Amino acid sequence: MTNMMQKVIYALLFLVLSQVVQAKLEIEIIQGNASALPIAIIPMQWRSSDPRPETGVAEVVSSDLYRSGLFDPLDDQDMVDRPVDAESIRFGTWRLLKVDYVVIGHINDAPGGNGYDIIYQLFDVHTQERLLSQITTVGFGDLRFGSHRVADAIYEKLTGVPGAFATRIAYISAIGEGNNWNYQLFVADADGFNPQAVVGSPEPLLSPSWSPDGERLAYVSFEKGNSAIYVQNVATGQRELISSGKGINSAPAFSPDGRYLAMTLSYTGNPEIHIRDLATGQKRQLTQHWAIDTEPVWSPDSQWVYFTSDRGGKPQIYKVAAAGGKPTRITREGEYNARASISPNGKIIAVAHGRGNEYRIAVLDTDTGRMRILTPGVLDESPSFAPNGSMILYATREGQRGVLSAVSTDGNVRQRLILTEGDVREPAWSPVIR
């Protein structure tokens, strides 16, 4: 009995410890969508001689589709049938389960022996038509990322919009108390898995911005005692100091064509938007006004720069030709509109929209001029569009803790991403990674 008691104690101790160590991701749909498409992603047969991974491809695909809010994947325990090939799909059974789409597949060693092939097919249960039949080849360590690509293909086939699951997010985490803080810039898969610290500092870090190829991040670090802009290669960690002049060096933003970095500098005595040519290192001043001009972002065609300015008395979004010219005011509704993020089609502008002490994420439709508030928070900020325009990632609060949330651009679906411990903020969604 003593022996058994010891075992129980060890087991429970392990449970306690593992809770402390595994402070990782949870995603929770706060607000779903009643018209979500019912789909069954059948567990895929593992035909490789390697050990089967802990989380299967089908499981990752299911949870991606679920998180989008547009799909209602069948729970694994409700799968009465687990066909592997097309001939053994009994469509009648799936109709009875009220499933509209079925995905089957298997995983092989890739020919050449340097990874796996995910071989899968998507069927419409009602027409029995095969909608998709594909092979996704991935490296040995990339099965999760490959699964995200499968989810992307299914999402695109059924919604007409490319998926954004095989992408990454960058964010800042702050852990500490009193005068002792540790700031880290993290990069994680879009579902929050696989978080990797890119850089850490006892001084504040902020404003990560992706290069259009998804290989580099520009960010602001106070490690030298003042704000400074760095550009760092995510994979190699190699980094370059871009600007550390007198005053503010902040708010970096890569142009989508990859040629320029816009940023806020105040060495002239006042915060102005400057543009640095990344090939030559030359820079030019884009704005010239006594107001605070900051938070530059580019239009998808790299022709325009949107920025925040309080030249009208309160912070609002303005736009100016990247080649230079007279800025025009874009946001007119509300007393505080700042930190714009531009949708990939260039038509929708997400902002932090302030009213009194409440800051929410709002979207401005530039065709209709209509502004719509999407989130219920009190201190929501830093909106960042998914590269397919479907969702907006943003920073919000739970009590005194910063967390990340995402809301669909139509406001119908909202989810919460609980990442690691600490105060999490400043999310930036990566471009599509090829």
Partner 1 sequence: MNTMWRIMLALVFAVAISACKTTEPEPEVTPDTTDTAPVEVVDATTSAAPDPHDYTDSRNFDNSESLLSKRVIYFDFDKSDVKSEYRAIVAAHAAYVSSHGSARVTLEGHADERGTREYNIGLGERRGNAISGLLSAAGAMGSQLDTVSYGEERPVCRVSDENCWWQNRRVEIIYTAR
Distance of CA 346 to the CA centre of its chain: 18
Q: Which is nearer to partner 1, 224 or 284 (CB)?
A: 224
Q: How far apart are CA 346 and CA 183, in angstroms?
A: 33
- If one asks whether residue 227 binds partner 1 (CB under 8 A), the answer comes out as yes
Q: Site residues for partner 1, window 7-26 (CB under 8 A)?
A: 8-9, 12-13, 15-16, 19-20
Q: What is the CB neighbour count within 10 angstroms for residue 33?
A: 16
- If one asks whether residue 225 binds partner 1 (CB under 8 A), the answer comes out as yes
Q: Beta strands 37-41 and 101-109: pairing type? A: parallel
Contact 129, 157 (CB under 8 A): no
Q: Site residues for partner 1, window 52-111 (CB under 8 A)?
A: none
Contact 230, 239 (CB under 8 A): yes
Q: At what angle do helices 143-159 and 57-67 cross, to 10 degrees?
A: 50
Maximum pairwise Cα distance, the chain = 83
- If one asks whether residue 180 binds partner 1 (CB under 8 A), the answer comes out as no
Q: Which residues contact 275 (CB under 8 A, 6 or more apart)?
A: 260, 261, 262, 263, 283, 284, 286, 305, 322
Candidate residues 145, 318, 336, 429; the one interacting with partner 1 per rule CB under 8 A: 336
CB of 261 to partner 1, least distance (A): 15
Candidate residues 75, 78, 177, 367; the one interacting with partner 1 per rule CB under 8 A: 177
- If one asks whether residue 251 binds partner 1 (CB under 8 A), the answer comes out as yes
Candidate residues 131, 379, 403, 432; the one interacting with partner 1 per rule CB under 8 A: 379
CB of 183 to partner 1, least distance (A): 9
Contact 194, 202 (CB under 8 A): no
Q: Which is nearer to partner 1, 107 or 349 (CB)?
A: 349
CB of 203 to partner 1, least distance (A): 9
The string of DSSP letters for 83-134 reads: --SGGG--HHHHHHTT-SEEEEEEEEEPTTSSSEEEEEEEEETTT--EEEEE
CB of 243 to partner 1, least distance (A): 14
- If one asks whether residue 209 binds partner 1 (CB under 8 A), the answer comes out as no
CB of 414 to partner 1, least distance (A): 21
Residues within the interface to partner 1 (CB under 8 A): 1, 4-5, 8-9, 12-13, 15-16, 19-20, 177, 204, 206-207, 222, 225-227, 247-248, 250-251, 264, 266, 269, 271, 292, 294-295, 308, 310, 314-315, 336, 338-339, 352, 354, 357, 359, 378-379, 381-382, 397, 399-401, 425-426
